[in-house]
A and B are shown apart, each in its own frame.
Chain A
Amino acid sequence: MIALLIRDLRLALRAGGGFGLGLAFFLLVAVLVPLGVGPEGTTLAKIAPGVLWVGALLACLLSLDRIFALDFEDGTLDLLATAPIPLEGVVAIKAFAHWLVTGLPLVLAAPVLGVLLHLPQAGYGWLVLSLLLGTPGLSAIGAFGAALTVGLKRGGLLLSLLVLPLYVPTLIFGAEVVKRGAAGMAVEVPLLLLAGITLGAQAALPFASALALRINLR
């Protein structure tokens, strides 16, 4: 399993692997929103938590189809499905690899983009923490969507349509944490719910994803 993780990371980091694409997209969102909304600091500060979370979500979405598509095309996935390690484990590892190359850079870049959007001082810690707790869930949910659409020729658009509604609870609680944190209010409840969704998704969804992969490989 560790070998698989290292392999996935290597493939993603190699040139043409799409690493950094999500990050660039995240940056673009943070640049485009002020251009569209206007440069007033107070307005930007108000919408910063939501914009950063939506940007992270969309950046995450961008690279989801790569989780399984390439392996499906060249037949690696068939080998993995018949390998001695359970397919559920393969899915979990691949989702984790996706998080390491997409989610983690987003978490680290978020404070810098927060400066661009005039996020209030108190919000930075909560922004990083909420993204750290939320993005692994996004990867796990996204892996499920990618597993559903892996056999389709034009699955990209369908993938967004399937995955984005599933992202709703994570987005709401994640953005709520930052909003409350920035306003200096208590954040325990949304933070715990956010962590709960991520943990639940990590625990249960690999089984659903593996089932979807088996159906698609049949």
Chain B
Amino acid sequence: MSIWEYANPKKFIETAGRILPVLLPLAMGFLLIGLVWGFFFTPEDYKQGATVKIMFLHVPAAMMAINAWGMMLVASLIWIIRRHHVSALAARAAAPVGLTFTLIALVTGALWGQPMWGTWWEWDPRLTSFLILLLFYLGYIALWQAVENPDTAADLTGLLCVVGSVFALLSRYAVKFWNQGLHQDSTILKVGEKDPLDPAYYWPLIFCLIGIVLLFLALVLIGTVTEIRLRRLAVIEARERQEA
């Protein structure tokens, strides 16, 4: 019994079919509890008022936007090294999800920034890096769609993901160098330090974070199963055309 057994598409679909009915409601439950708790049962911030509650959507989306790219990088490396098709398809399935999370983070950030900083957009390092991340996602997805042969597409996008990761990291530090920030640092892991996140916000935020991780997993599983089925369909169609 090793983890590579799940690289078998048949086994993967079976397992995903068993996990999903549990995973999806669990993700929705965590998100629902976290968001309702966060939006309606936490006090308002003394400086930011009710706008602080945008955090419960903004922070988890931003976190997953970055982690989704990390997952794509790992999946691409597994594809390049071990040639498991499921891995390449999982990377493909994760890209639109990551793109959506990036967009959510940018839009909620703009909505939050308008009342707080007095501007929808600021060329702050964090904001700019997210905009660049968005471009990387767009390029990755576009390359998947442009190449016809699925194996060639998987190889090329995998390569792009690896090289892109290096340049994304470089851009992150280049952008930091280029402009000083307006955006505050992360405070989730600062419990016990100076200026921590208020305990009243802590648990609802944790619920939202767990919920969004589970949601991401569920969406990627669904997407991967769909990609596998699409691939099978294409093979069946090609075979029928040949026989006809």
**Residues of chain A at the chain B interface (Cβ within 8 Å):** 144, 148-149, 151-152, 154-155, 158, 161-162, 164-166, 168-169, 172-173, 176, 189-190, 193, 197, 205, 208, 211-212, 215-216, 218
Residue-wise interface mask of B (53-83) relative to A, using a CB-CB cutoff of 8 A (1 in contact, 0 not): 0000000000000000000000000000000
Interface residues on B, range: 20 to 34
Please tell me if the beta carbons of A211 and B159 are within 8 angstroms of each other in the complex.
yes
Please tell me if the beta carbons of B143 and A158 are within 8 angstroms of each other in the complex.
yes
> DSSP class of A's interface residues: helix, strand, loop or mixed?
helix
Q: At the interface with chain A, which of B14-22, B132-140, B225-233?
A: B132-140
Q: A161-B142, A166-B167 are in contact. Are A172 and B156 (CB under 8 A)?
A: no
Query: Which residue of B is nearest A168, CB measured?
Result: B171
Distance of A202 from chain B, by nearest CB (Å):
14
A216 to B155, CA, bound (A): 9
Residue-wise interface mask of B (112-143) relative to A, using a CB-CB cutoff of 8 A (1 in contact, 0 not): 00000000000000000000100110110011
**Residues of chain B at the chain A interface (Cβ within 8 Å):** 132, 135-136, 138-139, 142-143, 146-147, 152, 155-156, 159-160, 162-164, 167-168, 170-171, 174-175, 177-178
Q: What residues on B are CB-neighbors of A166 within 8 Å?
A: 163-164, 167
Q: A161-B138, A190-B177 are in contact. Are A168 and B167 (CB under 8 A)?
A: yes
A208 to B155, CA, bound (A): 11
Known contacts A166-B163, A193-B174, then 9 further A-B pairs from the complex at CB < 8 Å, ordered by chain A residue: A148-B143, A151-B152, A152-B146, A161-B142, A165-B139, A165-B168, A169-B171, A212-B159, A215-B155
Please tell me if the beta carbons of B171 and A208 are within 8 angstroms of each other in the complex.
no
